[in-house]
């Protein structure tokens, strides 16, 4: 057992102490604290401390709402006051940019805000069963989930019901390396503003490990029993088909309820199917969109190209301020939802097509758009996309990023394409974590 004083934060939100000039990273320890730890070998010759006790707690430490914080990687800042979390995130994001960064727009509800959680089925070599999230830096080790401070309580109740049912069966968890076993994931989704619920049982698509009708009914009943008070519950099965030499693909089975959940965002209604992406924190997403649109200041005559558009949420919420919106999205399920969302909101001059942005964007390079909206994956923009943007030379680009690091890289590329960044506005959509959403507004420089 070693005694350490935490001197700084790591990029993962762990505390870092130093012993004889070597760093010791300690999950769950905060700057300024004196702690006792067990030392283990870390990566690249470093050391890792396993927190055993806190001898001198930080004044910024608050009561935890989850029992898994020392192993789960989902919320490394849990236990630190929200004001301190925001200050840390502000410093971190300011280090990434040479341009001024606006103060973070904070969350009113820092707990229980997620509308989607995906839990994993797993078994150890002794066939002991687990259903929950993955331990941080464990190479896929799943722990038995008892609670969570990020998602609604009904999701944990559903998880426990499904787990209890599974323990009474002989079914095995899926093992990727051999494509054996049946049970992959349990996903729970909710419409925060509608109370609609959806539970998705992820199964192997290997026919050798298919569930019988009776086995599917057993899991369905376990889900229904955990959600007796819910008036709008949907239950799906998603099969993931893995075969050598064939691209992995999925298929769906609808077991109960509606074929979607609904959500309301910026006064618009959205239908969300099992495999479509939607903003994980709708209340903060509404703040994000309204702030972005106010900064954008679109004109009623503007034509907008919405890239990586998902179910169309940004374009649909923006439509009342502009003339036309064209969206491009790779996920076919999301495009089906987008088209339905356009219809149920009675919108004209809005269209969404299926396509990989880096290929489809080139087809629009000569179309006279006034605004391009970018909401890319965490990896950021493809080089081919940036080259096409340089050719298009639209007046404004609104970049909404879930990864400030990739945005900081793409910002330089866009500046080299003739754009100047007007504002960088962070929005905290993910309290208890180090993640931030960023709004960046670019305008074409005068020639």
What is each CA distance from 173 to 70, 129, 188, 245, 406, in whole angstroms? 25, 8, 18, 24, 35
402 is catalytic: yes
Closest CA to 28 of 83, 82, 67, 86: 67
Cα dihedral 354, 360, 363, 364 sign: positive
- Is the distance from CB of 256 to CB of 234 less than 8 angstroms? yes
Q: Strand runs (DSSP E) across 96-151, as ranges?
A: 116-123, 129-132
What is each CA distance from 33 to 12, 86, 216, in whole angstroms? 17, 19, 50
Lay out the sheet containing 324-329: strands in order across.
Answer: 350-354, 324-329, 303-307, 371-374, 396-401, 437-444, 419-427
- Is the distance from CB of 369 to CB of 315 less than 8 angstroms? no
Task: Supply the angle between the helices 404-416 and 82-96 in degrees, to the nearest 10.
Answer: 30
- At residue 101, the 3 state secondary structure works out as coil
By residue count, the chain amounts to 447
- Is the distance from CB of 370 to CB of 396 less than 8 angstroms? yes
* Residues paired with 187 in a beta bridge: 118, 200
What is each CA distance from 152 to 121, 149, 158, 159, 393, in whole angstroms? 20, 8, 11, 12, 44
- Quote the tokens at residue 145: 């989930």
- Quote the tokens at residue 246: 């064939």
66, 148, 309, 402: the catalytic one is 402
Cα dihedral 78, 80, 83, 87 sign: negative
Q: Which residues are known catalytic residues?
A: 402
């Amino acid at each position: 057992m070693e005694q350490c004083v935490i001197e700084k934060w790591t990029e993962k939100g762990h505390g870092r102490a130093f012993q004889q000039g070597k760093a010791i990273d300690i999950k769950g320890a905060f700057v300024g604290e004196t702690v006792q730890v067990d030392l283990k070998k870390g990566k690249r010759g470093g050391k890792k401390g396993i927190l055993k006790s806190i001898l001198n707690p930080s004044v910024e430490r608050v009561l935890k709402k989850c029992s898994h914080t020392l192993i789960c990687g989902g919320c490394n800042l849990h236990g630190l006051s929200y004001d301190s979390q925001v200050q840390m995130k502000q410093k971190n994001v300011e280090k990434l940019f040479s341009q001024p960064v606006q103060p973070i727009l904070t969350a009113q509800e820092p707990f229980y805000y997620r509308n989607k959680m995906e839990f994993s089925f797993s078994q150890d070599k002794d066939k002991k069963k687990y259903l929950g999230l993955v331990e941080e830096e464990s190479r896929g080790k799943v722990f038995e989930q008892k609670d969570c401070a990020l998602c609604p309580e009904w999701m944990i109740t559903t998880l426990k019901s499904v787990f209890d049912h599974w323990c009474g069966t002989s079914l095995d968890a899926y093992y990727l390396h051999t494509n054996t076993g049946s049970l992959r994931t349990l996903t729970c989704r909710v419409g925060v503003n509608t109370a609609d619920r959806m539970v998705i049982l992820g199964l192997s698509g290997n026919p050798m490990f298919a569930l019988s009708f009776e086995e599917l009914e057993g899991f369905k009943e376990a889900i229904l029993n955990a959600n007796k008070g819910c008036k709008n519950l949907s239950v799906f099965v998603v099969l993931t088909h893995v075969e050598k030499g064939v691209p992995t693909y999925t298929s769906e089975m609808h077991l109960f309820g509606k074929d979607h959940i609904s959500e309301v965002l910026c006064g618009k209604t959205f239908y969300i199917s099992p495999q479509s992406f939607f903003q994980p924190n709708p209340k903060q997403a509404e703040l994000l969109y309204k702030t972005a649109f106010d900064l954008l200041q679109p004109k009623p005559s503007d034509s907008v190209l919405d890239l990586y558009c998902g179910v169309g949420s940004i374009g649909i919420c923006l439509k009342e301020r502009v003339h036309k919106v064209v969206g491009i999205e790779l996920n076919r399920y999301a495009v089906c939802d987008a088209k339905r969302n356009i219809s149920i909101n009675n919108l004209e001059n809005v269209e969404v097509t299926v396509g990989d942005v880096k290929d489809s964007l080139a087809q629009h390079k000569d179309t006279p758009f006034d605004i391009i909206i970018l909401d890319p994956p965490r990896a950021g923009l493809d080089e081919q996309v940036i080259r096409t943007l340089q050719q298009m030379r639209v007046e404004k680009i609104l970049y909404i990023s879930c990864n400030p690091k990739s945005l900081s890289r793409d910002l330089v590329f866009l500046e080299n394409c003739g754009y100047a960044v007007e504002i960088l506005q962070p929005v905290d959509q993910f309290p208890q974590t180090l993640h931030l959403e960023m709004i960046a507004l670019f305008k074409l420089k005068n020639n």
